[in-house]
Amino acid sequence: MGVRGAPSDAEVVARVLGGDREAFGLVVRRYEAGLLRFATRMLGSRDAAADAVAESLVRAYRHLASCREPARLRTWLYRIVANRCKSHLARRPVGDVSLDEAAPVADPTDNSAALERTEQLALVERALATLSPEKREAFVLKHVEGLSYEEMAAVTGERIPTLKMRVHRARESLLKLLEDHQ
C-alpha cells in the first residue's frame, strides 16, 4: 500500500483506467527516478535513458489495462523499460555501450572529494559497461535497484537460478575489474 495519504499503485491504476489521465503523472513521479537510473546504468547514456524511459512510460499508459497486477506496477514498469533497453542495445554494434562522453559538469561548490567521487563513478560505469547486457541487467536490478530475485524474475522473465548465476558472475567480474584499477 502507499504511504499514508498517498494512493497505492492499484488505486492510481484504477483512477487512470477510469478516465483520469492526469493521475498517470503520479506514476511518473513515483517511479521515474529509479527507472531512469536503471536505464542509465544499462545504456551508459543519460539522454538515451531518458528517451527509453519516456517512451516506456507512454507505452505503459497505453497498455495499462493489460497490467494484470496493478499492485506490482513497479516490476511491470521495470519490465517495459528493460525490454526497451535491450532493444536499444540490440540495435547497437556488439560491445558498444556509449558512456556519455562528457563527465558530469563540476558544480561551483564541488570540492576535491566530489571530483574524486565523479572519477570513481566513471570508473565503475566503465567496468559495468564491460559486462554482457544480461549480467549488467541482473546486477543493476539486484544491487542498484534493490529488487528481490522474485521481482527480478518477473521483470526479466528468467528463472531465479539463472538470475543468481548472472549476479554472481557479474560481482566477480566487477570486483576483478575494480581491483585491476586500484
Query: Which residues contribute to the site for another protein (CB under 8 A)?
Result: 21-22, 24-25, 28-29, 32-33, 36-37, 40-41, 46, 49-50, 53-54, 57-58, 61-62, 91, 104, 117, 120-121, 124-125, 127-128, 140, 143-144, 149, 164, 167-168, 171-176, 178-179, 182
Are the beta carbons of 78 and 87 closer than 8 angstroms? no
Closest distance of CB 3 from another protein, Å: 19
Closest distance of CB 47 from another protein, Å: 9
> Letter for the amino acid at 12?
V
C-alpha cell at 181: 584499477
Closest distance of CB 148 from another protein, Å: 8
Q: What is the dihedral of CA 13, 81, 151, 18, to 10 degrees?
A: 10
Minimum CB distance to another protein smaller for 33 or for 103: 33
What is the C-alpha separation between 65 and 56, in angstroms, rounded? 15
Contact residues for 56 (Cβ-Cβ < 8 A; gap 6+): 35, 77, 80, 81, 84
Closest distance of CB 97 from another protein, Å: 14
Minimum CB distance to another protein smaller for 5 or for 179: 179
